[in-house]
Structure 1
Amino acid sequence: MNQRISSIIQEFDAQGWHRTGTETDNRSARWLVDKGRSLGLDLELERFEFDRVVPRDCYLEINGRRIQGLPFFDGGFTSPDGISGRIGPIGSGSEIGLGEIVRGTNQASQDFRRSPGHLALVAVTLGGKPGLMATNAPAFRQPFGPPVLQVSSEEQDWLTGHAQGNSLVRLVAAAERVGAESFNVTGRVKGSSQTLPPVIVMTPRSGWWQCASERGRGLACWLEVVRHVVSSRPGRDVIFVATSAHELGLLGLDNFLGRRPGLAERAHVWLHFGADVGLESQVSFTDDELKSQTLTALEDAGASPVTHAPYGTTVGAESLVVAGLGGRVVALIGHSALFHLESDRWAQGFDTDSIGRFANAFANLALQLSKS
């Protein structure tokens, strides 16, 4: 199993940036279909259309030096000439406001751009490691606010000095929206009873960069569950879905649910592999019965350590949506210092033993739930 997991993550990493609707994203969808079919599951592509954001020139220029950046995909953009003015701290009234975005402060990143009096904003992104930590676009369908240019944490001190001195700068966050398509990957293993509601196993498959840990771990686990379920005889249908557009307001999940009205609540249970499976893992459950079943499966597989989300909390963006619609959900996420950083790449240090234990736990749980 370790070799299988390593191979999946390495192949996924080598494909390139997995941004939704790109050539890499769509090629990766077909790759995943082939992987599932090799295991005996007839996976299919479910296409959806949207307007993809294509960044052009995106930088901050001060005294002849340019810092490359990435715009918010659900915010405003500039013309190719950009916006010129003085830079100062958020709330200073300067034309360009400088602030910070810290990992785990999703609401703060949304409030960041509501600061009045600025024509554009610069966001120093502070992740677990140095670099540019890209921010998801929950308002992708309804963009709002001024242009926001995200830049690397490595520029924080230099930019703070210029903001304190109200230096003259030019911010360019040029981008355009173009028609595009992406795909969810989905398939079904038929159970012995067609009258029972299904178990659903889901994981996102898109992201900002290569996302070797963030997305690759979950996909490797998802395929291991496919392998186990296909070789067994589940009592009820088990539906598998790997969604695209995780980073763009969960467009893929919305499309999947939109094709299947009422499925969120009707399904027996949803099992969700979130980001960075096997690293400082956290699990959540929507009811006590699922908690007991999940903890037993994790213990039996030796999948530890794992912390429990606070009571009433659901982890994972997709799981939050499903739970909010009345679905029963078990969700698993992890924590990596490289989360949303371009440096999230395959490395020999990946603990494939740990990933495999979580895959086995959820495979056994899926089969148990399919027969209950």
Structure 2
Amino acid sequence: MKKILSTILLLGVISVASAQHKGGEDLFATVKKFVSLGEHRTGTKVDFATSQWLKTELDKIGFRTEFVNFPVNQFFFEGGNIIADNKKLDLLPLWPVDPKVNQSQKGILIDGDKTTDVSKLKGKLVLTKLPISGGALNEAIEKHLEKIIQAGAKGIVAITPSNTGEIVAHNTREDTKPWSIPVWQVASKDSTVFNDVIKSGTEVAITIKGYSKPIKARNIVGKIGNGKQYVVISTPISGWYTCGGERGPGLATWLSLAEWVSKNRSQFTDYTFVFTGNSGHELDNLGALTFAEKAAPKPEETRLWIHLGAAIAAKAWKKENGVYIQTEEVDANRGIYYDESVANAFEKAFANLKARKAKGTEANKATIKAGGEGGLYKEKGYKNLVSLAYAHRYHHVKTDDENNTSPALLLEVSNALKTFISDELKH
């Protein structure tokens, strides 16, 4: 009898472990699918394919779905390079791109950071290093570039500070006007080549292929349930490159939560769940703004809002013998903001998750803020918010793929969110 009971218990443990393994692998498969589609810039074929894929998945599990469109004047970058010292180097235009400005140039390169007489910048291609910003334009960067533009430069070669040496693409910000001269983002690993060209005084040749076009970009919004109160689950779906560690975990968790809500809808009859996948993230959160202003439930009708931003389950790195090595542990620097109103359920569900957790209260609202698009939703008056967002080591670089997360890390955050939602909505 004891042997039979032991066997039953063992089989039960194996069954649970197997289910957990499968859950993590399913989440990871979603990340791989997202990466495989290509580079996810707003309004591109890949972006449209992504929202259509998500719509199809939501349709399968009983959601009422729709696309929410918004206008964008988009530059469609098809490729380009800088020929310097007979080497072909990567680049990326800095958005917003003015369609009237010739992005392809030739000329002598001068080091703007070492030139005290700004009159010498006139008519030159100017090399400069951008201030560190976490991959987003800010006032410091704009002032830095405008100073060079006002000096009469004909183009700016902008080195982007990076952990990996690659180009770090920069998001635009509100009211940023298209640059009046071309600005090209380049990799910090190529700094030596640019310095050699400056010393030799030889020309560099810059070629850009692409075009500008006004388009309608789109979010994907799915609803399930008929309750008078709303629960919103949001995530960005667009980005500069394949965004495996940046976008992938949030999107995979978003889809996993949608499947879970669909299967357990009988537990949540008082609520309507709204899942929104927002494009336009890299263009000053245009899709999130559109959703908040045109498609979201009213703040007073919203019982809970969970935002799944960047790198919610990215792997950590550690330095050994002067070299950075990727680990299987989660990057504990990920940020999680939660409102005081949901603190009891949140702190219980997330007790064992490593992160920089910040509780927002009425007293600290001026200093403790939600990151990413979560901050936008707070500004629009939404309460009961949990917002996860972080700029991980491969944030906004071309090689950010599925290897920057793992099944175990994805499953951990997904399970914590399910526990949190269940407990919070019981109250």
- Is the structural similarity TM-score above 0.5? yes
TM-score, structure 2 normalization:
0.77
Query: What does residue 355 of structure 2 align with?
Result: 306
Report the Cα distance in structure 1 between the residues aligned to 2:278 and 2:417, rounded to whole angstroms: 18
Query: What does residue 240 of structure 1 align with?
Result: 275
Are 2:34 and 1:5 equivalent residues in the alignment? Answer: no
Q: Deviations over 1:100-132 (max 9, x none)?
A: 233527424333322231332111122221222
Q: 1:71 to 1:361 in 2, by over 3 A?
A: same
Deviation of 1:252 after TM superposition, in Å, equals 0.9
Q: 1:277 to 1:165 in 2, by over 3 A?
A: same
Are 2:413 and 1:351 equivalent residues in the alignment? Answer: no
Are 2:214 and 1:179 equivalent residues in the alignment? Answer: yes
Q: Aligned match of 1:209 in 227, 237, 241?
A: 241
User: Helix, strand or coil: the match of 2:167?
Assistant: coil
| Contact 2:342/2:424, CA 8 A, preserved across alignment | no
Report the Cα distance in structure 1 between the residues aligned to 2:83 and 2:195, rounded to whole angstroms: 14
Q: Deviations over 1:28-70 (max 9, x none)?
A: 1111112222333233322333222123564334355442311
Q: Aligned match of 1:137 in 163, 172, 176?
A: 172
Query: What does residue 392 of structure 2 align with?
Result: 336
Q: Write out the 4+ residue segments of structure 1 that deviate beyond 6 Å after TM superposition.
A: none
Report the Cα distance in structure 2 between the residues aligned to 1:354 and 1:16, rounded to whole angstroms: 23
Q: 1:119 to 1:86 in 2, by over 3 A?
A: same
Report the Cα distance in structure 1 between the residues aligned to 2:42 and 2:224, rounded to whole angstroms: 27
> What is the aligned-residue identity percentage?
21
Are 2:151 and 1:98 equivalent residues in the alignment? Answer: no
The residue correspondences of 1:22-171 to structure 2 (distance < 5 A) are 22-55=44-77, 58-76=80-98, 78-79=101-102, 81-82=104-105, 84-90=107-113, 92=115, 93=118, 94=121, 95-101=124-130, 102-104=132-134, 106=136, 107=138, 108-116=140-148, 117=151, 118-139=153-174, 142-163=177-198, 168-171=203-206
Q: 1:297 to 1:87 in 2, by over 3 A?
A: same
Aligned partner of 2:413: which letter?
F
Name which one, 1 or 2, has greater alpha-carbon Rg: 2
Q: Which runs of 5+ in 1 are unaligned?
A: none
Q: Aligned match of 1:364 in 407, 410, 419?
A: 419
Moved more, 75-84 or 88-97: 75-84
User: Helix, strand or coil: the match of 1:237?
Assistant: strand
Aligned partner of 2:249: which letter?
R
| Contact 2:113/2:129, CA 8 A, preserved across alignment | no
Q: Which runs of 5+ in 2 are unaligned?
A: 1-22, 315-330
Q: Aligned match of 1:288 in 340, 343, 356?
A: 340
User: Helix, strand or coil: the match of 1:343?
Assistant: coil
Q: Deviations over 1:184-205 (max 9, x none)?
A: 11112225x42x3x22110001
Q: Deviations over 1:147-199 (max 9, x none)?
A: 210112210122234446665444455643113232211112225x42x3x22
User: Helix, strand or coil: the match of 1:131?
Assistant: coil
Moved more, 200-209 or 257-266: 257-266
What count of residue pairs does the alignment treat as equivalent?
364
Report the Cα distance in structure 2 between the residues aligned to 1:205 and 1:250, rounded to whole angstroms: 11
Aligned partner of 2:354: which letter?
P
| Contact 1:57/1:80, CA 8 A, preserved across alignment | no
User: Helix, strand or coil: the match of 2:163?
Assistant: coil
Report the Cα distance in structure 2 between the residues aligned to 1:105 and 1:23, rounded to whole angstroms: 24
Higher helix content, 1 or 2: 2
| Contact 2:238/2:282, CA 8 A, preserved across alignment | yes
| Contact 1:205/1:244, CA 8 A, preserved across alignment | yes
TM-score, structure 1 normalization:
0.87
Report the Cα distance in structure 1 between the residues aligned to 2:164 and 2:379, rounded to whole angstroms: 33
Moved more, 205-214 or 131-140: 131-140
